[in-house]
Each structure stands twice: as C-alpha cells, then as structure tokens.
Structure 1
C-alpha cells in the first residue's frame, strides 16, 4: 500500500490587500472561534493564549491586529496576524485545560476590511441598520450584524471599523462598500 501523502490547501487571497482609501482590504489573518460555557457559579477565564477574554458582551479587547471580540455569552472571535495562529492555538488550549471549550480555526473562512476616515460610519450605514455613533457604538465595541444581505462581524477599532465577513461574500461586501464610499469621495 502506498504511503499517505499530506496535502495542505493554499489560501489564495480573494481580494488583493489595499493600502489606501476609506475602504481597505486587509491582509490575511489567523482567526479562531472560541466557544466556552462556564458551569453554574464558575467564572470564565480572563485570558487565554495572550487574548484578553474579560470584556463584556459586544466588546473587543486587544490591538487592531490581535484581538478578542466577545460576540455572545460564551463566544469569542480571536484574530491575530497570519502565522501567529500556529503558536496561539496550543497556547489557548493549554490555558483552558480542564475546561469544556471548542476552538475552531476559521482563518481560511474570513476576509476583512478596514473602514476609516470621517465618513466610515456613514459608509457602513448604507448597509447596516445600527447606530454607529460614538455614543451607541464606541471604540471597543463589537457585534455580529448584517451588511446588505451578508452576515458580518463589526469591530470598532479606535476611530476606524474592522469588518469581517465570509470569504465567499468578500467580493459582494467590497463592491457594496466601494459603491457607498463613492457618495463621500
């Protein structure tokens, strides 16, 4: 019987990263969905693998490049620069040893955009029916929502917004955002 051959899929960018403009395509990143439920009376850990898990629901902790967005009572989206995930994954598992959790690598699934400038919220509001003002969605906020017909995760990073969507929807999301941005050019 022949020896098994290991095949590793290559992640090809769906859109080329861009460096300027109100809507920028971000480079590939490593991402994980962490789900964990604390037993009754137990406290969730404050950190795992260098990610700060202490934030309340709909918040984000970390830097623009490496963060934990708490999207549900026991759900986080963890994002780090491409290549760091190979070290982050075992570190997270080690820090959560003894707890019941699920950690799924989804870096291949998502694409990300950064919206910045004075009209970033206006561009997003062309397809997102949320109040994105500083009072309602301040820096450090995160949520799962819809942009047009697509489910996205929206993270407020300082004065900018990071939008994560499934890779297969990235061309649609990019075209939608570019079209909305033309109104403010």
Structure 2
C-alpha cells in the first residue's frame, strides 16, 4: 500500500482543462479511479462479474453500469473504472470476490489521464493519429482497444456514436492532448 499512499499524497500533474472550441469537444476527464485487473479464466471460475465489474465481455469491449465501467483489453486483462473516491472500496470488494484466487489488481488512477473527444467528426480527429478503422460498423459503441495515437500508447473506447474516451499515461497527456487539439482544427468550421 505504500505506492498507493505516496501516489495519493503526490500533487497530481494534470493537463490544463483546455477544451477545443467548435464542433469537436476535447476535454480532460477528472475524478476517475482506474484499476488494472488481470485474472485467468480458471481463477474467474465462470464469473460474469467481479464486485460489480463485468468480466464476461468479448475482448476489446466496454461494458458500463452507472458510474462504473469494465474494459476488456485482452484474454486476461481488464481496466475497471469507477469514481475516484470509490477506489479503496472497489479494491476491497474485488479482493473479497476473488477469495484467494490468483489475480492481479493495481490502482493505476495516478498513472493515466483520460480525454473525452466528442462531436460529428470525432472519429476523424482520432484517426489523425490512430491506425484503427473507427467507422461505426468496424468500431461500434461499446468497443475498447489498446492502440496508439501518434507515438503514444492509448486505450480507446467508443461510448457513443460520436463520443470517445482516450486514455494515456500522464507523462504522454500533453502530447496526446496537443495532437487531438491540432487535428480538431480541421473541423473548426
């Protein structure tokens, strides 16, 4: 728990709350807790959820329920999202639910920054630096994937027809934010 305590006492380095103007909105999310969860199918024992976080979806999918979301990024890898103030309770609940089964659970809230990108051409803005086909039929609502944006690793999730969440490591956030803002200029009208 030392790492968690030190991270919480360290002043947060957050990108400025600068949002783009015009038809594409790009803004940093605040107040989110993020948990990296890993467990093999045997350890999950057929569960559909762990402490309210879905673990039954297809790889590269996102399921949400109110303030929580579960992104399945690999065969044994999920990113759980909850309100920042609920992290300790969520971690305790997951530990109880796993009841000694082999798993990994790490609070990565301090590591990541998420930007919402929304608007009619949000997919085109993201495609300025992301090689995935983000057309609605190839990357539908509820899809999530680890990918790249420019030269940065990101986790990309489509949460609406014209709404995305771009999560990157805090140290890459100014770079990713700048690229998004620059790409959005093409759609400023």
Indicate whether the TM-score tops 0.5: yes
- 1:161 counterpart = 2:177: no
Query: Which among 79, 85, 95 is matched to residue 87 of structure 2?
Result: 85
Name the CA shift for 1:64/1:126 in 2 (closer, same or farther; >3 Å). farther
In 1, distance between residues paired with 2:185 and 2:169?
24
Give, in angstroms, the shift of residue 43 of structure 1: 4.1
Question: Greater share of helix residues, 1 or 2?
Answer: 2
List gaps (5 residues or longer) in structure 2.
Answer: none
> Which residue of structure 2 lines up, in the alignment, with residue 3 of structure 1?
none
For 1:32-111, list aligned pairs within 5 A: 32-39=35-42, 43-63=45-65, 65-111=67-113
TM-score between the two structures when normalised by the length of structure 2: 0.87
In 1, distance between residues paired with 2:18 and 2:92?
31
Deviating runs (4+, > 6 A) in structure 1? Answer: none
In 2, distance between residues paired with 1:61 and 1:114?
17
Give, in angstroms, the shift of residue 28 of structure 1: 3.5
In 1, distance between residues paired with 2:156 and 2:87?
21
Work out whether residues 17 and 27 of structure 1, in 8 Å CA contact, stay in contact via their aligned partners in 2.
no
Name the CA shift for 1:65/1:23 in 2 (closer, same or farther; >3 Å). farther
Superposition CA RMSD, Å = 2.0
In 2, distance between residues paired with 1:98 and 1:135?
41
In 1, distance between residues paired with 2:11 and 2:99?
30
List gaps (5 residues or longer) in structure 1.
Answer: 1-5
Name the CA shift for 1:123/1:20 in 2 (closer, same or farther; >3 Å). closer
Count of matched residue pairs: 179
Q: Secondary structure at the match of 2:139?
A: coil
> Which residue of structure 2 lines up, in the alignment, with residue 118 of structure 1?
120
> Which residue of structure 1 lines up, in the alignment, with residue 183 of structure 2?
180
